[in-house]
Amino acid sequence: METKIYYKPPKQEYFDDLKSACIRYFKTFDNDFGYADEKIKTLESLENVGGNFMSMVKMIHPLAWELIAEIISLETRNEISMRLEDGGDSLETDFFNIWGKNKAKEKYGQLN
On whether the CB atoms of residues 77 and 85 are closer than 8 A, the answer is: no
Domain boundaries, the chain: 12-108
pLDDT tens figures, 16-45: 999 999 999 999 999 989 999 999 999 999
pTM above 0.85, yes or no: no
pLDDT in tens, 39-76: 999 999 999 999 999 999 999 998 899 899 999 999 99
Q: What is the identity of the amino acid at 87?
A: G
Nearest-angstrom CA–CA distance, 93 and 35: 24
